[in-house]
Amino acid sequence: MKVVLENLTKKFPGRTRKDPGVTAVNNFNIEIPDGKLIGLLGPSGCGKSTALNLLSGLLAPTSGKIYFGDEDVTDLQPEKRGIGLVFQNYALYPHLTVIENILFPLENLKGEEKLSRDQMMKRAMEAAKLVQIEMLLNRKPKELSGGQQQRVAIARALVKMPRLLLLDEPLSNLDARLRLQTREEISRIQKETGITTIFVTHDQEEAMSISDQIIVMKDGVIQQIGAPQEVYDDPKNLFVAEFLGTPQINTFEGEVKDGKLYIGNEAVLNVRNVNDQKVYVAVRPEAFIPDPEGPLSCAFKALEVMGRDTSVVFTSKFSERKALRAIIGADVKVEPKDGVVRFRLRSPKTEIFNRETSERVYYEEA
């Protein structure tokens, strides 16, 4: 089922006269395609949970519309929306066994939706199988690991065959290894069921790795929507460029003047079709090429060997960052001289942004 948000806005009023309140979701216009996994991504407080709560019906919007397929669900009660919800804390019933937890949503179905005991059991078993917990059905939640509990929570959300699955930071309580494993599981389950799924996270790597599309938000406003690689390769503003990628993109203050891109008084690239302006120069770690004759000089700090790659750590007078990072092949030599390391820059991964608006400025390399 596709989901359409039209001018969707949620304002929370201030509590006092001095508190202006906050627009947690600001004029969202999105069409979420049927059967896809969408990552809703942004820093803490940007409005991700609010957006999810509007979709689930737990919050009413201040203005705007929500459509599930062609149906306007803006005023529909949460329980009538056909949604499966999974939160960060699994919220299983502690006194019920795994199978009883999964059956629970089915036992409350009424009227036309009511199922026989056999039908309920069949559905619950299918959901348990899908998340691979068939062997744990008679345990209580406290007898399960965090990852297993989260699988039960997902099975419980799937058992009603939702039209839309909403996952709010479902991996946050898991340790690093389990996070990786469970996110792959979620991706598999989503593909097998084909249920349109929205996955909320502040972890860009998590969102990038499993989403068909990501929606990057900041302060209630959508910054960019697209396939993960597309957004990474072609960020529309400095926020998106800095939010995606680890190590983070390296940002310098710079200037375009007479067809040259400067960092300080060093001309780092020849650029065409750009007006003279003050800019931010954002360089992906893989876009630095160590070169003793290179135009960009930085203060060398350290080399960190990480197996296949090496990370060169340095600083610059023209960057506010405490540590900048270049990633180079382990066989590439770096020879700092008098504490200075020099680089050339690869233009495809060196992006520039207007310093006043932070919007992307496109250029051609001359």
Q: How far is the CB of 35 from ligand ATP (least distance, A)?
A: 25
Question: Nearer Cβ to ligand ATP, position 24 or 326?
Answer: 24
What's the rounded Cα separation, in Å, for the pair 309 and 218?
A: 32
Question: Nearer Cβ to ligand ATP, position 46 or 361?
Answer: 46
Question: Nearer Cβ to ligand ATP, position 4 or 22?
Answer: 22
Using CA atoms, how far residue 30 sits from 24, 41, 194, 256, 302, in Å, is: 16, 14, 20, 35, 45
Question: Nearer Cβ to ligand ATP, position 12 or 67?
Answer: 12
Q: What is the DSSP string of 183-213?
A: HHHHHHHHHHH--EEEEEES-HHHHHHH-SE
What's the rounded Cα separation, in Å, for the pair 267 and 287?
A: 16
What is the token pair recorded at 223?
């910054």
Q: How far is the CB of 168 from ligand ATP (least distance, A)?
A: 8
Residues 6+ positions from 139 with CB-CB distance below 8 Å: 97, 98
Q: How far is the CB of 215 from ligand ATP (least distance, A)?
A: 12
Name the DSSP class of 237.
Answer: B
Name the DSSP class of 221.
Answer: E
Question: Nearer Cβ to ligand ATP, position 53 or 101?
Answer: 53
Name the packing angle between helices 117-130 and 146-158 (round to 10°).
130
Give the CA-trace dihedral at 170, 175, 181, 184, to 10 degrees.
Answer: 30
Q: How far is the CB of 22 from ligand ATP (least distance, A)?
A: 4
Residues 6+ positions from 157 with CB-CB distance below 8 Å: 84, 85, 86, 165
Q: How far is the CB of 153 from ligand ATP (least distance, A)?
A: 18
Q: How far is the CB of 72 from ligand ATP (least distance, A)?
A: 23
Q: How far is the CB of 206 from ligand ATP (least distance, A)?
A: 13
What's the rounded Cα separation, in Å, for the pair 24 and 9?
A: 8
What are the backbone dihedrals phi and psi of residue 294, each rounded to the nearest 5 degrees, phi first?
A: -65, 155
Question: Nearer Cβ to ligand ATP, position 48 or 81?
Answer: 48
C-alpha R_g of the chain: 25
What's the rounded Cα separation, in Å, for the pair 317 and 168?
A: 40
Interface residue list for ligand ATP (CB under 6 A): 12, 22, 24, 42, 44-50, 202
Q: How far is the CB of 40 from ligand ATP (least distance, A)?
A: 9
Question: Nearer Cβ to ligand ATP, position 174 or 341?
Answer: 174
Question: Nearer Cβ to ligand ATP, position 50 or 223?
Answer: 50
User: What is the C-alpha end-to-end distance of the chain, expressed in Å?
Assistant: 47
Q: How far is the CB of 82 from ligand ATP (least distance, A)?
A: 23
Question: Nearer Cβ to ligand ATP, position 42 or 170?
Answer: 42
Count Cβ atoms within 10 A of the Cβ of residue 246 and give its class: 0-12 exposed, 13-18 middle, 19 or more buried.
Answer: exposed
